[in-house]
């Protein structure tokens, strides 16, 4: 599986529990792995960890396959502001600060932010966002 190969490339340490979390997640899930590698230092947290979300969206999956690389993104909101639900909700500050915008029809009319779980090297779990 291409996505698992990429995960193994960018996450240096992948505790076994992570594979079950990925397989059984019903909501979007971001896992913070203990050690990242082969990415720009700005992608890593101060402790060297890296957050990765395995995408299920067809457009994102196709883009990743074509690039043969992971992609980095942030939420489409200015820190502290509400996360936008639809394209029109994205602030002009964000829209004017990027090189390109993909404005696809929204398949999921009630999008939810991903859950965020941090996994330690010894499989300890910290829930960052439910």
Q: Which domain holds residue 39?
A: 2-74+113-129
Residue 68 belongs to some domain of the structure: yes
Residue 124: CATH number of its domain: 3.30.110
Residue 43 belongs to some domain of the structure: yes
Residue 80 belongs to some domain of the structure: no
| pLDDT at residue 1 greater than cutoff 60 | no
Residue 20 belongs to some domain of the structure: yes
Note the pTM of the prediction, 2 decimals.
0.81
Q: Cα(8)–Cα(55) distance, rounded to whole angstroms?
A: 15
Q: Cα(77)–Cα(26) distance, rounded to whole angstroms?
A: 24
Structure tokens at 14: 């992948």
Q: Please list the alpha-helical segments (H only) found in the chain.
A: 2-10, 17-24, 58-67, 92-96
Residue 100 belongs to some domain of the structure: no
Residue 99 belongs to some domain of the structure: no
Total domains in the chain come to 1
pLDDT band, residue 26 (cuts 50/70/90):
confident
pLDDT band, residue 34 (cuts 50/70/90):
very high
Residue 21 belongs to some domain of the structure: yes
């Amino acid at each position: 599986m291409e996505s698992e190969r990429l995960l193994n490339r960018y996450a240096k340490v992948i505790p076994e529990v992570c594979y079950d979390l990925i397989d059984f997640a019903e909501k979007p899930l971001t896992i913070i792995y203990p050690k990242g590698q082969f990415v720009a230092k700005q992608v890593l947290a101060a402790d060297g960890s890296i957050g990765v979300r395995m995408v299920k969206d067809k457009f994102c999956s196709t883009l990743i396959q074509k690039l043969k690389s992971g992609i980095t993104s942030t939420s489409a909101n200015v820190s502290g502001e509400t996360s936008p639900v639809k394209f029109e909700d994205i602030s002009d500050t964000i829209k004017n600060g990027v090189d390109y915008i993909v404005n696809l029809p929204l398949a999921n009319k009630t999008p939810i932010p991903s859950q965020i779980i941090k996994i330690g090297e010894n499989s300890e779990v910290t829930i960052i966002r439910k």
